[in-house]
Amino acid sequence: MDSNSKPKKRVVISYKNLTPELQEEVRKKYPQGYTDSMIRIDKSPTDFFYAIMLETEDASYLIKVDVKVDSKVEEEEEKDYYDDEIKGAEEIADTSDDSEEEE
């Protein structure tokens, strides 16, 4: 940074309040979505928001994004998808034991 350039302004803004041009910049920077790039910002021990970052020539943006918390995830994790026996598992286990003994 040279002495003649002024520092970038730093802006915190909600995604829905971005100009269409900045929304397009976000889409260019995160073409596959920004889920993996979100950061959690703690405002207090009980209050927080999620945001993504966007750099332009004149500003650094911290863009607040809405996050929907899925309460069904816990219910899905509790399901037992593997409660039935796998047919033929005993034979496979027996075969692998035999091949080890032959070596």
pLDDT per residue over 27-80, tens digit each? 999 999 998 999 999 999 999 999 999 999 999 999 999 888 666 655 555 555
Q: Are 26 and 19 in contact (CB under 8 A)?
A: no
pTM given for the model? 0.60
pLDDT per residue over 51-65, tens digit each? 999 999 999 999 999
Q: Are 60 and 11 in contact (CB under 8 A)?
A: yes
Q: Strands, DSSP E only, in 7-85?
A: 9-14, 39-42, 48-55, 59-65
